[in-house]
Structure 1
Amino acid sequence: MLRVADHAARTDTGRARSANEDSYWVRSPLFVLADGMGGAQAGEVASKTAVDVFADQGGLPDGPGTYEERLAGLVAAANSQVHERAQSDDQFAGMGTTLTVAYVGEDDLAIAHVGDSRFYVLRDGQLSQLTDDHSLVGELVRRGQISAEEAEDHPQRSIITRALGIEGEVVVDHFSWPVRDGDVFLLCSDGLTGMVPDPRVAELIATSPDLSTAATRLIAAANEAGGRDNITVILFRVEEVTPGEGAVVGGSGGQETMAGATAPSTAEVRAASAAGAGATATQQSRTPDDPRSVVGASTVEARAPRPPRHPRHDAAPKRKRRWAPFAKGFAVIAVLLVLIASGGWIATRSVYFVGTDDDGFVTLYTGLPYSLPILKLYSTEFTSGVPAQELSPQVQRTVTEHKLRSHDDAVDLIRQLEQGTLAGQNAS
């Protein structure tokens, strides 16, 4: 029989965001994490709406079906609520959220997942990702068209292909995982994984005296690396017990719901770490200037469970072929055409990037930084008076890398360039 021996949860706005759009809810043995998107208050509303579906139930209710099937049913219900709210209020139009949930049953662990938040297991000092990233680069990695290392810095890494709230129905990944005594599990938003590499995450967890300390250290590491996004981590350790031994829950215990201004600041987290703070965490909500967008959301009901994936590092290395660069180019074009044909390029309404116009002035564009033979996937929002050639090489790279951004993030970058306040802006 399995029980949760210890658990901890932390969330932080990060160093680059003005608000927190992450939400989580914990009542052991159920763990829920959502990472909202949509700008302004929409991302915060989307993530909180999703986790409230589980909070309102007080956990995983009894009913027909396996644990994972019931989890998937609640995720589908959360999708309906987020979608209905987005449709009924113009200020929330287009909002969405990731959602990853885990439930520790008597014999195994049930998981349901949508989006690019992640769920890991730390076993024998080795960290393995159990969920798939529902993102454009995640799909390219799975197809072997780019490497996991290339995905980390890919300019389209923020494009999500599946999220709650975008359509009336959503595909839900759900499966069961065979747990071993002593396994430690991690649910986290991309504010952690985008800043801290997996080996470092494993090291911080393995070397911490308890999960509360590990959670605090993970958030501190993400902030020290730049803290470009909201950071939320949920950790729990599972052990096997004989029936009748009881199911005492360690860690922070009880129910924790976190969203918005109730979350601790970075300074508070650091102070808690220095003072050896306990496991109780206050939750935050996610940032309004989230650069991510959802493209090509699916409209299929929850799919059947699949066997757990083997860790990426177990895969045999692939030989490089001479035609690989050409295949990658054609594959990217094919993916874009599919997105357009399916009506999925929502990015043309909600994604922006900074570049230069034909005269070399810094310009704000909306859409995707690609031109196809039949059309351009972007349009000009406005052109600044800043000549790119007068910028330092470092800032020129920032301007020409065509990184996808939220509207507020892109406008803020151009305003800093116009005012001369961006670090390292002036050419030497």
Structure 2
Amino acid sequence: MLRVADHAARTDTGRARSANEDSYWVHSPLFVLADGMGGAQAGEVASQTAVSVFSTQGGMPDGPGTYEERLAALVAQANGQVYSQAQSDDQFAGMGTTLTVAYVGEDDLAIAHVGDSRFYVLRDGELTQLTDDHSLVGELVRRGQISAEEAEDHPQRSIITRALGIEGEVVVDHFSWPVRDGDLFLLCSDGLTGMVSDAGVAEILAGAPSLAVAAQRLVTAANEAGGRDNITVILFRVEDVTPGEGAVVNQHTSVGDAVPAAPVAAAPIATQTTVRPTEMLVGSSTIEPRAPRPPRHPRHEAGPPKRRRWVGVAKGFAVLAVLLALVLSGGILASQSVYFVGTDDDGFVTLYSGLPYELPGVNLFQTQFTSGVPAQSLSPRVQQTITDHKLRSHDDAVDLIRQLERGDLAGQYAS
């Protein structure tokens, strides 16, 4: 059985800001951190509103589902409250907040996450980030277009692709993590990670005599590096008090899945509660999203379907007959003069030539190019345009993708 052996938390305004828009709440074994945006007052209100959803519960509420699913439901509830406030009061218009939550259960650690605040584990001296940054540079790093070092000084590092309060619904990453005895966890706002490298954070954590000292040293290091943003850190160490047992293995899966327990060294598997991501924010301004996080795991329950598969025996035979006729008549060559728009295996809008069907050993379509637009970020109406795989001319298909990239289509992004 797991328990929290020790914990500590610190927050600081930093050296460049006049107010602290970060909020946190610690009620072991529940840990909550939010980093608000939208101006000093609005950002502070957004983060406090999100955290209050958890603090008013007094802990993890009872209910159906795994811990991670219940955390995700509370994050969705927090999003609704922040969104309602932003819509009802002009002074809060455009406000939003990140939210990262962790709960230590009896057998594993549950995490729910939206935004670019981070959650780390220090294990055997190695610091590993468990959450994905919902930011433009985070996506560029994941796609290999820039390095982690380049991301630290990227001019667009402040652009986030997902936050609470911008839309009525939000995509929530949630997963369970297999914990080992002695694991040290860190929740922090980007006021820390924007100033101190992961290597620097790991060194401070490893060298501090206590978690309280480590938390203060992290804040001090961020301020000494410039303190450009509010700084909040939450630390907690977990121990396994189950007699005669070693490492704890994850036993939770998402609703509707049958995924075997992950080994101790496995990475967390993110799942989602809705398919309606928020728009990007720079302070209180909304800009055109470019590269939100694509769906990467088979456990995703939402998002647009991949390229059309066989459905129904009767339909399968009918399509097969047509395709065989094309092959026999040489029509498959002519099919390469038609195009359709779909998604690749990572969920990005892609241009294909050929027919939108797959047969064993027969390639009926070819990839022409993949855009930077994740289909998951589109409104349901526009998603339908992508997933119907309508046959188009080359120019028509290219024009559709370019409109998506520019954001020219009305209702392109979910609202």
Q: What TM-score, normalized by structure 2, do the two folds share?
A: 0.61
Change (3 A) 1:221 1:339: same
Where 2:236 maps in the other structure, the secondary structure is: strand
* 1:130 maps onto 2:135 in alignment: no
Q: Indicate if the aligned counterparts of 1:34 and 1:98 stay in contact, CA closer than 8 A.
A: yes
Q: Indicate if the aligned counterparts of 1:189 and 1:231 stay in contact, CA closer than 8 A.
A: yes
Q: Aligned partners of 1:17 and 1:97: how far apart in 2?
A: 17
- 1:221-240 matches, cutoff 5 A: 221-240=221-240
Q: After TM superposition, give the deviation of residue 149 of structure 1 in Å.
A: 1.3
Change (3 A) 1:43 1:304: farther
Where 1:160 maps in the other structure, the secondary structure is: coil
Kindly provide the CA deviation profile for residues 297-321 of structure 1, in whole angstroms up to 9, marking residues without a partner as x.
99xxxx9967xxxxxxxxxxxxxxx
* 1:16 maps onto 2:32 in alignment: no
Q: Aligned partners of 2:83 and 2:3: how far apart in 1?
A: 35
Kindly provide the CA deviation profile for residues 184-219 of structure 1, in whole angstroms up to 9, marking residues without a partner as x.
000000000000000110010111010000000000
Q: Aligned partners of 1:154 and 1:91: how far apart in 2?
A: 30
- 1:281-360 matches, cutoff 5 A: 296=289, 335=372
Change (3 A) 1:132 1:337: closer
* 1:206 maps onto 2:209 in alignment: no
What is the number of residues matched between the two proteins?
275
Kindly provide the CA deviation profile for residues 370-413 of structure 1, in whole angstroms up to 9, marking residues without a partner as x.
xx99x999xxxxxxxxxxxxxxxxxxxxxxxxxxxxxxxxxxxx
Q: Indicate if the aligned counterparts of 1:182 and 1:239 stay in contact, CA closer than 8 A.
A: yes
Change (3 A) 1:292 1:211: farther
Where 2:56 maps in the other structure, the secondary structure is: helix
Q: Aligned partners of 1:127 and 1:291: how far apart in 2?
A: 32
| Corresponding residue for residue 79 of structure 2 | 79
Where 2:137 maps in the other structure, the secondary structure is: helix
Q: Aligned partners of 1:172 and 1:44: how far apart in 2?
A: 21
Change (3 A) 1:337 1:7: closer
| Corresponding residue for residue 67 of structure 2 | 67
Change (3 A) 1:9 1:295: farther
Q: Aligned partners of 1:21 and 1:236: how far apart in 2?
A: 22
Structure 2 unaligned segments of length 5 or more: list them. Answer: 244-281, 301-368, 380-401, 408-415
Q: Indicate if the aligned counterparts of 1:159 and 1:293 stay in contact, CA closer than 8 A.
A: no
Change (3 A) 1:91 1:335: farther
Change (3 A) 1:305 1:218: farther
Q: Indicate if the aligned counterparts of 1:159 and 1:295 stay in contact, CA closer than 8 A.
A: no
Change (3 A) 1:121 1:31: same
Q: Indicate if the aligned counterparts of 1:108 and 1:178 stay in contact, CA closer than 8 A.
A: yes
Q: Which sits farther off after the overlay, 136-145 or 88-97?
A: 136-145
Q: Aligned partners of 1:233 and 1:10: how far apart in 2?
A: 6
Work out which structure has the larger RCO, using CA pairs closer than 8 Å and 6 or more positions apart in sequence: 1
Q: Aligned partners of 1:236 and 1:218: how far apart in 2?
A: 14
* 1:164 maps onto 2:164 in alignment: yes
Instruction: Using the aligned pairs only, state the percent identity.
Output: 79
Where 1:180 maps in the other structure, the secondary structure is: coil
Q: Indicate if the aligned counterparts of 2:97 and 2:165 stay in contact, CA closer than 8 A.
A: yes
Q: Aligned partners of 2:202 and 2:187: how far apart in 1?
A: 13
Q: Aligned partners of 1:134 and 1:151: how far apart in 2?
A: 13
Change (3 A) 1:305 1:116: farther
Q: Aligned partners of 2:25 and 2:43: how far apart in 1?
A: 16
Q: Indicate if the aligned counterparts of 1:158 and 1:292 stay in contact, CA closer than 8 A.
A: no
| Corresponding residue for residue 255 of structure 2 | none
Change (3 A) 1:59 1:42: same
Change (3 A) 1:171 1:181: same
Change (3 A) 1:223 1:290: farther
Structure 1 unaligned segments of length 5 or more: list them. Answer: 244-288, 307-329, 343-371, 378-428
Q: Indicate if the aligned counterparts of 2:19 and 2:40 stay in contact, CA closer than 8 A.
A: no
Structure label with greater radius of gyration? 2
| Corresponding residue for residue 110 of structure 1 | 110
Q: Indicate if the aligned counterparts of 1:160 and 1:293 stay in contact, CA closer than 8 A.
A: no
Q: What TM-score, normalized by structure 1, do the two folds share?
A: 0.60
Q: Aligned partners of 1:187 and 1:292: how far apart in 2?
A: 26
Kindly provide the CA deviation profile for residues 98-124 of structure 1, in whole angstroms up to 9, marking residues without a partner as x.
000000000100000000000000001
CA RMSD in angstroms comes to 3.0
Kindly provide the CA deviation profile for residues 56-114 of structure 1, in whole angstroms up to 9, marking residues without a partner as x.
11111010000000000000000000000000000000100000000000010000000
Q: Aligned partners of 1:295 and 1:162: how far apart in 2?
A: 12
Q: After TM superposition, give the deviation of residue 144 of structure 1 in Å.
A: 1.3
Q: Indicate if the aligned counterparts of 1:37 and 1:293 stay in contact, CA closer than 8 A.
A: no
| Corresponding residue for residue 390 of structure 2 | none
Q: After TM superposition, give the deviation of residue 141 of structure 1 in Å.
A: 1.1
Kindly provide the CA deviation profile for residues 334-361 of structure 1, in whole angstroms up to 9, marking residues without a partner as x.
548999987xxxxxxxxxxxxxxxxxxx
